Amino acid sequence: MARFGDNLREGAEQKVVFITGRVHPGETPSSFVCQGIIDFLVSQHPIARVLREYLVFKIAPMLNPDGVYLGNYRCSLMGFDLNRHWLDPSPWVHPTLHGVKQLIVQMYNDPKTSLEFYIDIHAHSTMMNGFMYGNIFEDEERFQRQAIFPKLLCQNAEDFSYSSTSFNRDAVKAGTGRRFLGGLLDHTSYCYTLEVSFYSYIISGTTAAVPYTEEAYMKLGRNVARTFLDYYRLNPMVEKVAIPMPRLRKEKSPPYKHPLLRGPASNYPNGKGDKKSSVNHKDPSTPF
């Protein structure tokens, strides 16, 4: 078991989770999922605090900002589907892709950095629920280990479907981030495409479709983040950071006293204080 704060020690190996989103500008749900991840990780939730101590999260929430600005559905300003150009991105034609790839390669070559996860967030126009695409490896053990994270996520998120998750090496997907980085990085790294439906999800054991909302997308993002706690078996650490700080001094609030009414007209200019005095005083237990 790693010690608390190991990831922040001088010279310690850093375990990195790299997350990207919105490479296809029309897939707006991916931004809400990514927002849910970010909001949770920067919060003071005990799980988030533990994750920040043990992992480094690198997040590029929008790989295609010009396409988003223009209202494109899939392409960039230059008319390229960026998620097909990971093999050799141009610094001029695909600048965001080129920059992210350079950073990932730099971290991969750094002996003090372990790039353990790459997750690219998308939205799907025909499938329901959230699900993942993974890679196929000749090494059976590596292939089985790759299935662990989606299975854990399925336990944490009611809208995530492991049965819809698939692992492939489709030639059409060769230029995607998942496929390219899955071939570049070593056996300790796992690369996924996280897909989420544009419209609805079905909870296991039911048949009714539940429409997705912005909050539901962000909740999926929060569940993605918390799944790293289960994956790295950091649950015992949560109790350590969740212990409340002791109060320095216990103060008692002064007892509530009703005003003394000495006469029917002494405290009320209109001379009618004897009948409505009980409703003119605010109950101290009632919030403002």
Give catalytic residues, as residue numbers. Answer: 195
Residue 128, Ramachandran bin (φ over 0: left; ψ between -120 and 50: alpha; else beta):
beta
Give the number of residues written for the chain.
Answer: 288
Task: Name the residue with tokens 């005095």.
Answer: 277
Query: CA nearest 233: which of 159, 152, 155, 161?
Result: 152
How many angstroms from the chain centroid is the CA of residue 24?
Answer: 19
Amino acid at 101: K
Are the C-beta atoms of 82 and 76 separated by less than 8 Å?
Answer: yes
d(CA 12, CA 7): 6
Question: Looking up tokens 């230029």, which residue turns up?
Answer: 175
Contact predicate 198/124, CB 8 Å: yes
Per DSSP, 160 falls in state B
